[in-house]
Structure 1
Amino acid sequence: MLTTERKALIQRVLRRDGRLIAKAFSQQLGVSEDTIRRDLRELAGEGLLQRVHGGALPASPAVADFASREAAGSSAKATLGGIAARLIQQGQIVFLDGGTTNVQLARQLPYDLKATIITHSPSIAVELARHPLVDVEMIGGRIFKHSIVTVGSTSAEAILRVRADAYFMGVTGLHPETGATTGDGEEAAIKRLIAHQSAETIVLATREKLGAASPYSIMPLTEIATLVTEAGLAAELLQPFQSASINIVEG
């Protein structure tokens, strides 16, 4: 089997099974494990999978720039944003993460909602500035341009002074083995800190992020209270999240 054929097969197996074990796959094809590991390294270098101990997981597709991500899947993101917006209750203190789906959430908050929204996303803050009753607190720091959120020590110090009722978190991947992940280590640390300062964490994730993984871990599935995702997904795709006692809200 040619290298290109092996690599194409690897990607098909990842799409079908949600993971690949290098040793078992090499035995199945009758090639050395080193050959498969080399294929995995090269595919990972192209952003086509996420390597883990012993094999690989599907890579998250959420690696494009903010403008491109905002245009992609806008209908599904708007639906999830509308559902999540209705989960916020009167008088709550809520931390709203950055990301294109959370922008949709901010746009669809009920006009009679009186709450305090804390965010480290300038994009979210601008959307909320139009809301008549929501108080907005902006966390400062260095802008991480991929997600348009603030990160760094200045952000962390401000977050530590906050206690929120709920945190609506964006992720690039949500996998049973790796939990919630994202593509930048510093951003992952800030997300983890916000979750620690919040009574519950709610994740908004479109279909392509479920069963996918990114390089940096945020938290295991067991620390997520609620998952807001698309309606009509296969039961086997949602089963690992249900097994982790996550409340699943489908839109």
Structure 2
Amino acid sequence: MQRTRQDAVDGLLPEERARLILERLRAQGRVLASELAAELQTSEHTVRRHLRELADQGHCKRVYGGALLISPSGKSASVRMGEAVDRKACLAVAAASIVRPRQIILLDAGSTNVAIAAALPDNADLTVVTNSPEACARLLNRQGFDIILIGGRITQNAAGSTGATALLQIQQIKPDLCFLGACAFDPDEGVAAFEAEDAELKRAMVKASSQVAIAMTSEKLMTAAPFSVAPACAVDYLFVEADVTAERRALLEAVCDNVMVTRS
């Protein structure tokens, strides 16, 4: 006799339950303990125990009522630079479209922001302040750019200047627009980063800038990272890919005024 879905759920072993919860996390990014308990026909206490174990293993971050998937961005910058190059280029073109002539642009480190540097328009009389040597290299020998490279200690993961020197320099400028690098973004948990110094610098960037924009590949949406940067409502423009579901887009639009979907 063929087992029904309910029969399969009722007979789950603990390790099977944990696997299903992890699959749901990877598919949805955020899970709620109450919903999982109802679906798996078990107690919320049992679900919370599984979520705690998954968090201990580094798969997720516990949040109120459930858990968030840990962002896949905790890789070295050299690895990230070679990933999803075409997708990041599409995001970069869309992001660069909001830039206006004679603006002061603050460009944070990150592989997508390096693509934005390459997509910025020539001859727009832009001042670009960046802590990313890679972004700086994309702008050299191009017309219409005044480039200011922020100094400081460069970490392997961030591939951009951090620390006290960089922080002091950021605090002394007033950019019109900041393209902020984000390791993770969630409507409830906001923008997050993997390193404490990087998060501190990003917070200073947000505080200094008139407007903040983030361009983000889909796998980093509805995910978490250890260090908080800013609430989601601090982001004025959020550029996302076309595969973002209508449900997710509605959640993003509830906290961000301008959610812009790129077309490949």
Same fold (TM over 0.5): yes
Q: Which residue in 2 is equivalent to 1:163?
A: 174
1:214 aligns to 2:217 (yes or no)? no
Once residues 49 and 115 of structure 1 are traced to their aligned partners in structure 2, the CA distance between those partners, rounded to angstroms, is 40
Letter in 1 for 2:105: V
SS state of the match for residue 105, structure 2?
Answer: strand
CA distance in 1, matches of 2:133, 2:249: 32
Q: Please give the per-residue CA displacement for 1:80-111, whole angstroms capped at 9, x wherever unaligned.
A: 11121222111000100110011111112222
Aligned to 1:12: 23
Provide the rounded CA distance (Å) in 2 between the counterparts of 1:44 and 1:130. 47
1:136-155 equivalences in 2 (<5 Å): 136-155=147-166
Match of 1:170, SS? coil
Post-superposition offset of 1:242: 0.9
Do residues 135 (structure 1) and 146 (structure 2) align? yes
Higher mean C-alpha displacement, 73-82 vs 20-29: 20-29
Q: CA deviation at 1:23?
A: 6.0
Counterparts of 2:160 and 2:84, CA distance in 1: 21
Q: Alignment identity in percent?
A: 33
2:90 corresponds to = 79
Equivalent residue of 1:181, what SS? strand
CA drift of 1:169 comes to 0.7
Q: How far apart are residue 55 of structure 1 and its match?
A: 2.7
Tell whether the 8 Å contact from 2:30 to 2:68 is kept in structure 1 after alignment.
yes
Question: Does the 8 Å CA contact 2:238/2:256 hold for their aligned counterparts?
Answer: no
Unaligned runs of 5+ in 2: 1-11
Question: For 1:86-97, what aligned pairs fall within 5 Å after superposition?
Answer: 86-97=97-108
Q: Name the counterpart of 1:51.
A: 62
1:193-223 superposed Cα distances (whole Å, 9 cap, x missing partner) = 1111000000111111111121211111111
2:255 is matched with 244
Corresponding residue number in structure 1 for 2:42? 30
Offset of 1:156 from its aligned partner?
Answer: 1.1
The 3 A distance-change label for structure 1 pair 21 and 75 is same
1:238 Cα deviation from its structure 2 partner: 0.8
TM-score, scaled to structure 1: 0.91
Residue 223 of structure 2: SS of its match in structure 1?
coil
The separation in 2 between residues aligned to 1:237 and 1:26, in whole angstroms, is 22
**Aligned 8 A contact 2:30 2:223 in 1:** no
Cα distance in 1 for partners of 2:197, 2:157 equals 12
Cα RMSD, aligned residues only: 2.0
